[in-house]
Amino acid sequence: MTPPPSFADVEAARGRIADWVRRTPLLSSPFLDEVAGRRVFVKPECLQHTGSFKFRGACSALSALDPDTRARGVIAFSSGNHAQGVAMAARMFGVPAVIVMPSDAPRLKIENTRRLGAEVVLYDRELQDRDEIGTRLAAERGLSLIRPFDDPRVIGGQGTVGMEIAEDAAALGIHDADVLVPCGGGGLSAGVALALEAMAPDLRLRTVEPAGFDDVARSLRAGEICRNDRLVGSVCDAIITPAPGVVPFPILLRCAGPGLVVSDAEALRAMAAAFLRLKIVVEPGGAVALAAALFRSAELEGDSVVVVASGGNVDPAVFARALETDPGNV
């Protein structure tokens, strides 16, 4: 049995991937500060390779494999961003990648994954069990399964986001802040939580989810894993998972404040705000943390808030829809 992930996994991941990942900055705008009523700092992981933080975890996992195992190839299942992250990491290492994707994933994500050189296997999100498909293909072909969040190497890689936040927050004099992270299975949130716990204990991790798919917020309240009733029906598709991952969840239970929830409409408005004020492209699921910073300020603590904009892989039509919303007085 693998021991639970710790800050040592985050530090080790950073050592392996530092030369491969982009160190993203913290962006800000006086207009966003005004709306939020506090200083807002946005970490644009949409600017990461493949357009999301998922490249960090994938790169961490692949770099931790022994070379012979890695050479046989890897397999992943993902609604899109993990897929691209694994495909890109495999491309960099020059090894084959098979990606199992839901057939209703955004067209752009499926195409990108294929163009990065991966073999894409589609499945029906409502009828088929992606875990079963992935496990079977892995066994058949001798591929290493790279899970999207239930893996200490992946959580360690995502945690490098938290190390960078802790370092930049110290440099900017941010001492009293919630750190808002879009949360699906919890890999990014858990990794960031481990980094903050070790490096910036005054910063508190808060998960953010779309309304109706708030499994993490409910699980944190209940003290045990609760599941979503359904898996489709939100524009924030990238962060919809059946339930918090069994590996990340104990970390979140120990470190995270109450989970935050925003509506799809608020996520779209936050995308428009990020377009207007930060000049970054954020996908709906990646914008829920900024939405919470802007539109849920009464539920936050501290004179500052740090927000992870976790990804930017959004179809043009959905982005155009977001631009038609009124982001409010930002």
List residues near a copy of itself by CB under 8 A: 22, 25, 27, 30-31, 44, 46-47, 51, 91, 108, 112, 115-116, 272, 275-276, 278-282, 312-313, 316, 319-320, 323-324
Q: Quote the CA–CA distance of 41 and 36 in Å, as a whole number.
A: 11
Nearer to a copy of itself, 55 or 249 (CB): 55
**C-beta pairs of 287-290 under 8 Å, 24+ apart in sequence:** 287/182, 288/182, 288/208, 288/209, 288/210, 288/236, 288/239, 288/262, 289/180, 289/181, 289/182, 289/208, 290/40, 290/42, 290/180
Nearer to a copy of itself, 35 or 260 (CB): 35
Sign of CA dihedral 196, 197, 198, 202: positive
Sign of CA dihedral 150, 153, 154, 159: positive
CB of 320 to a copy of itself, least distance (A): 5
CB of 12 to a copy of itself, least distance (A): 25
Nearer to a copy of itself, 119 or 150 (CB): 119
Q: Quote the CA–CA distance of 243 and 223 in Å, as a whole number.
A: 13
Nearer to a copy of itself, 75 or 272 (CB): 272
Which residue has tokens 């050479």? 71
Nearer to a copy of itself, 194 or 274 (CB): 274
Q: For residue 144, what are the β-bridge partners?
A: 74
CB of 46 to a copy of itself, least distance (A): 4
CB of 29 to a copy of itself, least distance (A): 8
Nearer to a copy of itself, 300 or 322 (CB): 322
Angle between helices 248-255 and 215-222 (to 10 degrees): 60
CB of 123 to a copy of itself, least distance (A): 25
Residue 261: both structure tokens together: 């929830």
CB of 326 to a copy of itself, least distance (A): 11
